[in-house]
């Protein structure tokens, strides 16, 4: 059982929904992003998604694109992102960490080496948005065999024919993308999301969390109310981009987490 599995089991036993928070590693520098990351558990974050900066983040809107560029301009690398996880693990061996990003940096490092290094650093799961199920042999299966959860995205266009393929080697949880398009582009609607979550849950025992388009505590509450949890990314990353201090960012994270936990 991974930390992700354990966290969702504990939340289910408590009758609570998960609050998943995303930040970009190294944005605007390692010190700031690590301070935010270290403060997240106390702010109510159940699972941390740590973005791997990449030059061509095709699923991300301007807010996260700019965050990745700031991180890269500051010298952030895949190794430094893994080092952030290792540093976090010195004081927290419980909170699940999911690394989220694109395959190119991992391919450049070598999949086997990346999986070994990620496990050593203390990573629990991976979301690699540009690796479809047809490419599972590249990273998904080696990661699963090594003990890392490989979390797949399902979207409004994932129909009943495609869904079994998407779920095939998924573990940890299913990430349902609430809107068509890029991150931060439009608001998620519980009325649209609820039936889709139910459709996915009819085909899997995995928790289903919903991301994209959630930017307020109220939205976190309503979306988490029709799923097993919610993900907030752009709304947090935007505050970092505005130059807010880690304390100010974490205060907003706590408000968002409280919204999700009240669902």
Give the model's confidence band at 258: pLDDT under 50 very low, under 70 low, under 90 confident, else very high.
Answer: very high
Coil, strand or helix at 132 = coil
Which superfamily does 3-261 belong to? Aldolase class I (3.20.20.70)
Residues 195-240: pLDDT tens digits? 999 999 999 999 999 999 899 999 999 999 999 999 999 999 999 9
Q: What is the pTM of this model?
A: 0.96
What secondary structure letter does DSSP report for 51? E
- CA geometry: angle 254, 255, 258, nearest 5 deg: 85
- Domain limits, the chain: 3-261
**Which residues are catalytic, by number?**
49, 60
By the 8 A CB rule, do 256 and 220 touch? yes
Q: Report yes or no: 206 and 173 within 8 Å, Cβ to Cβ.
A: yes
Quick one: what percent of the chain has pLDDT higher than 70?
97
Give 153-203 pLDDT, tens digit per residue: 999 999 999 999 999 999 999 999 987 665 655 677 878 899 999 999 999
At residue 168, the pLDDT reads 95
pLDDT > 70? residue 107:
yes
Q: Tell me the two tokens of residue 25.
A: 């590693």
């Amino acid at each position: 059982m991974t930390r992700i599995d354990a966290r969702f089991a504990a939340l289910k036993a408590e009758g609570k929904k998960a609050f998943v928070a995303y930040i970009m590693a190294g944005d605007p520098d390692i010190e700031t992003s690590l301070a935010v990351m270290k403060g997240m558990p106390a702010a109510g974050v159940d699972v941390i998604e740590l973005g791997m900066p990449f030059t061509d983040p095709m699923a991300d809107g301007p807010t996260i694109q700019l965050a990745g560029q700031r991180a890269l301009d500051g010298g952030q690398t895949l190794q430094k992102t893994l080092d952030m996880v290792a540093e976090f693990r010195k004081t927290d061996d419980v909170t699940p960490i999911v690394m989220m990003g694109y395959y190119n940096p991992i391919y450049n490092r070598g999949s086997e080496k990346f999986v070994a290094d990620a496990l050593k650093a203390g990573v629990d799961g991976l979301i690699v948005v540009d690796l479809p199920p047809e490419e599972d042999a590249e990273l998904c299966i080696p990661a699963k065999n090594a003990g890392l959860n490989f979390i797949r995205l399902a979207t409004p266009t994932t129909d009943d024919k495609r869904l079994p393929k998407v779920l095939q080697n998924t573990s940890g949880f299913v990430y349902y993308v609430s809107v068509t398009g890029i991150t931060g582009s439009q608001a998620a609607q519980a009325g649209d999301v609820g039936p889709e979550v139910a459709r996915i849950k009819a085909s899997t025992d995995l928790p289903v969390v919903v991301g994209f388009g959630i930017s307020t505590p109220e939205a976190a509450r309503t979306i988490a109310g029709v799923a097993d949890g919610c993900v907030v990314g752009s709304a947090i990353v935007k505050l970092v981009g505005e130059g807010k201090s880690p304390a100010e960012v974490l205060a907003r994270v706590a408000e968002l987490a409280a919204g999700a936990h009240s669902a």
